[in-house]
Amino acid sequence: MNFLSDLILFIGSLFMFLAAVGLIRMPDMYTRLQAGTKAATLGSIAMILGIWVLHPEWSAKLLLIIFFILLTSPVGSSTIARSAFILGHIPWVKTSRDQETPS
């Protein structure tokens, strides 16, 4: 049981590290946004699941935290992307096509 919890924790922290590497390596603000947000969300949920294996009596609050992260992380990232698009950030050349007008 203990080893299973440690393994899930390690997988979660590996995804967090990959999120930070994507934050450094990606060429553009929008690609950095998706790398950081999605991988960090998966990593934190995996870490909280690992703690849940270790402490099953905390399951209500842990599920509340998971629900909260799943609720707020896409809202925050889409707000940042909307703000950047309104301010006229140009996407990376290889990802840009004909853009719609900012609303």
Partner 1 sequence: MSMLQILSLILIGSAVLLSLLRMLLGPTTHDRVVAADTIGVITTAGIVWIASYLNNEIYLDIALVYGALAFIGVVAIARALDSVRQGERE
Residues 6+ apart with CB under 8 A from 33: 77, 80, 81, 84
- How far is it, in rounded angstroms, from Cα 69 to Cα 19? 16
Q: In whole angstroms, how close is the CB of 1 to partner 1 at the nearest point?
A: 13
Residue 33 near residue 62 (C-beta atoms within 8 A): no
Residues that bind partner 1 (CB under 8 A): 2-3, 6-7, 9-10, 12-14, 16-17, 19-21, 23-24, 29, 32-33, 36-37, 40-41, 43-44, 47-48, 51, 54-55, 58, 61-62, 64-65, 68-69, 72-73, 75-77, 79-80, 82-84, 86-87, 89
